[in-house]
Structure 1
Amino acid sequence: MNTQELIITWATPVFFLLIGIELLAAKLRDRRAYAGSDAMNSIGLGVISQIVGVFSKLLTLGIYAWCVEHLALFALPADSWWVWAGALLLYDFCYYWLHRCGHRVNILWAAHVVHHQSEHYNLSTALRQTGSGMLLGWLFYLPMAVLGVPFKVFVIVALIDLLYQFWVHTEQIGRLGWFDRVFCSPSNHRAHHAVNDRYLDRNYGGILIVWDRLFGSFVEEDDNDPPVYGTRSPLRSWNPLWANAEVYWHTAVDAWHARRWRDKLLLWLKPPGWRPDDVAARYPKPAFAVPNERFDPPVPKAWMIYALLQFALLLGMTTQFLGMAGTASLPALLAYAFYLVAGLSVLGALMERRRWALWAEGARLLATALVPLLSGRWFGVAHLDGRFALAIAAVFGLSALALPWLGKPSAAVGAASAAN
């Protein structure tokens, strides 16, 4: 486990503690801050982002390390405070432009959209991260390598910038006076996440909101026009794989339908929502209207309790996965990653009450119970202690026995759920 993964792993209990405090603050104010299915979906997408990160380090960090070693114009010392301060400022500046382009260039929006899909705004939204951002995002930080920002400094300031942004994802903190004029704050970032015309594509700053004031992208939150959260093409699904793929898919379909090769390319480079005239005419989409209600198909209490318990188990396994990332073989990591992502996807289908979800979940539970018991192995563990194998079999075997008691999916609810 590298330094970045280690810090995030240790920070995770703090994240959940703060989520608990936010829940309590909302309850004391008689507000509903969370919806169970939405929060699980957001945190699950954060889990998938971390899983993907284990395999993408060679691209996201390896390229930077090579560039700073071979292309750096200056040899900056890693033990000078001004290098650290300057690197943090420069990183936040680069992040501003990545974030801004992520809203104005469709291929970048296809990755960033994941963070905006939730129609709630709370601390779990901060954990909702993309699984494909590593494909192009690294390009925006190469100027830091060319200037000679040491690799270790880059990794730590990137983590500082990321961790700072966690606390601004809340409705429980109001205006902060002068702070709002200088820094990214809950008020400023609420406006960023809104789909109202007033707020659309504004307030991109990570730590500093000064960048937005300098480059004309700042807007102040207005109490007379409360932010409405989500995207202008709502996801309406708890499927984490579809959440990561939806914009790529819709863009690819439009590119297939476009008659001109120029338009096939422009669909990826133009702002989100742009479509060639011929495609828009033949395959029209309804005009955007601010939604009156959030996507939240009803889930029976028994289903929700079951999903939360299984979700907690998957989170624990993810911690183990991240811990073994530096020592386990690539096949073991890939197999474990597939298992975790499949488990999160099936739980999402359960929350949508898909008809096939009970069968898929039953197969997952039985496999998880029987394979360790019969083989004496677990992902990354060649010789599993018999007591642990028995414990795994007991937990997941009992879960499989409990599954029929949840009841059958409702056809009405299933029809109301989003179709992929």
Structure 2
Amino acid sequence: MQEKVITFASPIFFLLIALEAFIAMRRQRHAYRVNDAINSLSLGVMSQIINVFLKLLSIGIYVWVAQHFAITTLPADQPWVWLSGLLLYDFLYYWLHRMGHMTNLLWAAHVVHHQSEHYNLSTALRQTSSGHLFGWIFYLPMALLGYPPEVFIAVGLIDLLYQFWIHTQQIGKLGWFDRVFASPSNHRVHHAVNDIYLDKNFGGILILWDRLFGTFIEEQDAHPVVFGTRKPLRSWNPFWANAEVYAAVLKDALSTRRWVDKFKIWLMPPGWQPTDLAARSAPTTFDLQRPEYNPPLRGALMWYCLAQFALGLNITTHFLLSANTAGGVSLVLYALWLLAGFWIIGGLMQQQKFFVLLEAFRIAICAAMVLSSASWFGITALTGTVQACIIAACAACLLALLLIFKTKPHGYLSY
């Protein structure tokens, strides 16, 4: 359900992103960079692809707990059930979100949403691909209290969609609204790396939770917000964006001598190290004035990456709409091909030769599949006309790739 609603809402998201970018330009506040926006949006699309498989974990566990351990079954046709369900979900989301900043295991998933050094509506769509692995634990109270699965899914979607509009710098403070609800001003603070703002304003819809539990701070003119993370990602690789904290914590877990620390480190706050590792580590400082990560992306390469992202986005729509009827093997191969595309776009934006070869290989696989089977990943039969159009598009992509990188000056690309 969630994937389909987000799929159909995507045109509205992109319309609002375009509107925000236009307003920012009119105000001479350049809120967008093409490479950063493509990276954020790619991460969001990838999360939807992977969630097709992981939702069986989170939704399945919720349904099982509700069926076997619920103290009652609440009626799904009563408005008070929906309203109280939304309120309870938002309360539980606050604690999931807060713990997502306080424990390495949950931060490893949530960090993806904070990695962008820009703050705009594309950042709202920058989502983790591993959040469902452990996030379901926080919502089990709803299952135990008897909230039907359809209520849980719907209020979760409402909570998620609400948070889209608060990821903008184009809306200032909103008076009384800021005191009750999560708002653009309140949420800008949450994405800040300034010392004064760290680990504040976790509310999804209501900021009242932060006021109640001591994690609220108001945005202050004396401290302009700086966005990103304290350990900048400095990469457009969406797989590495999802893996970087897991890899760093795992490295420390394997390196520390005490067995208790190998497990404890996953439950400790980001930056914590066991005593033996801390003694060997050089102190690190964070520079608010650090330069942004911004490898050049211009001309034909920029347009190629934009075109491939747009194609990938539209094809992902077909993937999501086909997920419930496609065979398991076909769905996995389809997902891997799509994920490879977004990964390769990141590599091309970093101008690495290896990804040029991978892109050519990915396109060739697509053309060979369509030629040999007259179907799209064994899910949709293709007419002769559609086959010809896909093969022509593949040929055009390969030609564009050749022309773009054949004309790049020596040394422009790196390994």
Gaps of 5+ in 1: none
Q: Within 5 A, what are the aligned runs for 1:282-321? A: 282-284=280-282, 286-321=284-319
**Using the alignment, how far apart are the partners of 1:403 and 1:279 within structure 2?**
46
How far 1:414 sits from its partner (Å)? 5.8
**Using the alignment, how far apart are the partners of 1:152 and 1:44 within structure 2?**
28
Any idea what SS the aligned residue of 2:195 has? Answer: coil
Task: Tell me the residue number matched to 2:146.
Answer: 148
How far 1:71 sits from its partner (Å)? 1.0
Task: Tell me the residue number matched to 2:137.
Answer: 139
Kept after mapping to 1: 8 A contact 2:202/2:210: yes
How far 1:250 sits from its partner (Å)? 0.5
**Using the alignment, how far apart are the partners of 2:218 and 2:379 within structure 1?**
53
Mean CA deviation greater in 367-376 or 210-219: 367-376
Kept after mapping to 2: 8 A contact 1:77/1:83: yes
Task: Tell me the residue number matched to 2:71.
Answer: 73
Cα deviation 1:141-199 (Å, max 9, x = unaligned)? 00001011111111100000000000000000000000000000000000000000011
How far 1:287 sits from its partner (Å)? 2.1
Mean CA deviation greater in 35-44 or 404-413: 404-413
How far 1:282 sits from its partner (Å)? 2.8
**Using the alignment, how far apart are the partners of 1:256 and 1:410 within structure 2?**
43
How many residue pairs are counted as aligned between the two chains? 414
Mean CA deviation greater in 377-386 or 197-206: 377-386
Letter in 2 for 1:343: G
Question: 1:411/1:173 Cα in 2 relative to 1: closer, same or farther (>3 Å)?
Answer: farther
Question: 1:32/1:157 Cα in 2 relative to 1: closer, same or farther (>3 Å)?
Answer: same
1:216 to 206, 214, 217: 214
**Using the alignment, how far apart are the partners of 1:407 and 1:56 within structure 2?**
38
**Using the alignment, how far apart are the partners of 2:207 and 2:34 within structure 1?**
31
**Using the alignment, how far apart are the partners of 1:171 and 1:383 within structure 2?**
45
Task: Tell me the residue number matched to 1:401.
Answer: 399
2:367 to 369, 373, 383: 369
**Using the alignment, how far apart are the partners of 1:26 and 1:383 within structure 2?**
44
Cα deviation 1:97-139 (Å, max 9, x = unaligned)? 0000000011000000000000000000000110111111000
Kept after mapping to 1: 8 A contact 2:369/2:377: no
Task: Tell me the residue number matched to 2:246.
Answer: 248
How far 1:386 sits from its partner (Å)? 1.1
Question: 1:23/1:242 Cα in 2 relative to 1: closer, same or farther (>3 Å)?
Answer: same
**Using the alignment, how far apart are the partners of 1:155 and 1:358 within structure 2?**
41
Kept after mapping to 2: 8 A contact 1:353/1:410: no
Kept after mapping to 1: 8 A contact 2:193/2:229: yes
How far 1:410 sits from its partner (Å)? 6.9
How far 1:412 sits from its partner (Å)? 6.5
Question: 1:331/1:291 Cα in 2 relative to 1: closer, same or farther (>3 Å)?
Answer: farther
Question: 1:379/1:90 Cα in 2 relative to 1: closer, same or farther (>3 Å)?
Answer: same
Question: 1:387/1:26 Cα in 2 relative to 1: closer, same or farther (>3 Å)?
Answer: same
Task: Tell me the residue number matched to 2:83.
Answer: 85
Kept after mapping to 2: 8 A contact 1:111/1:244: yes
Q: Within 5 A, what are the aligned runs for 1:333-348? A: 333-348=331-346
**Using the alignment, how far apart are the partners of 2:183 and 2:161 within structure 1?**
13
How far 1:366 sits from its partner (Å)? 2.0
Tell me if 1:355 matches 2:353. yes
Letter in 1 for 2:77: D
**Using the alignment, how far apart are the partners of 2:289 and 2:64 within structure 1?**
47
How far 1:292 sits from its partner (Å)? 2.9
**Using the alignment, how far apart are the partners of 1:383 and 1:135 within structure 2?**
34
**Using the alignment, how far apart are the partners of 2:197 and 2:86 within structure 1?**
27
Any idea what SS the aligned residue of 1:154 has? Answer: helix
Task: Tell me the residue number matched to 2:256.
Answer: 258
Cα deviation 1:380-404 (Å, max 9, x = unaligned)? 4353211111101101111101112
Letter in 2 for 1:35: R
Mean CA deviation greater in 170-179 or 275-284: 275-284
How far 1:277 sits from its partner (Å)? 2.9
How far 1:75 sits from its partner (Å)? 1.9
Kept after mapping to 2: 8 A contact 1:324/1:380: no
Kept after mapping to 2: 8 A contact 1:33/1:121: yes
**Using the alignment, how far apart are the partners of 1:88 and 1:314 within structure 2?**
33
Kept after mapping to 1: 8 A contact 2:330/2:379: no
How far 1:372 sits from its partner (Å)? 0.3
How far 1:369 sits from its partner (Å)? 2.3
Task: Tell me the residue number matched to 1:6.
Answer: 4
Q: Report the TM-score when normalising by structure 2.
A: 0.97
**Using the alignment, how far apart are the partners of 1:354 and 1:106 within structure 2?**
31
How far 1:9 sits from its partner (Å)? 1.2
Q: Report the TM-score when normalising by structure 1.
A: 0.96
Question: 1:35/1:328 Cα in 2 relative to 1: closer, same or farther (>3 Å)?
Answer: same
Any idea what SS the aligned residue of 1:229 has? Answer: coil
**Using the alignment, how far apart are the partners of 2:206 and 2:371 within structure 1?**
53
Letter in 2 for 1:364: R
**Using the alignment, how far apart are the partners of 1:307 and 1:94 within structure 2?**
39
Task: Tell me the residue number matched to 2:168.
Answer: 170
Gaps of 5+ in 2: none
Kept after mapping to 1: 8 A contact 2:117/2:228: yes
**Using the alignment, how far apart are the partners of 1:26 and 1:62 within structure 2?**
43
CA-atom RMSD in angstroms: 1.5
Mean CA deviation greater in 404-413 or 388-397: 404-413
Question: 1:293/1:342 Cα in 2 relative to 1: closer, same or farther (>3 Å)?
Answer: same
2:177 to 176, 179, 184: 179
How far 1:278 sits from its partner (Å)? 1.9
**Using the alignment, how far apart are the partners of 1:257 and 1:75 within structure 2?**
48
**Using the alignment, how far apart are the partners of 1:57 and 1:286 within structure 2?**
38
Task: Tell me the residue number matched to 2:157.
Answer: 159
Percent identity over the alignment? 57
**Using the alignment, how far apart are the partners of 1:303 and 1:88 within structure 2?**
45
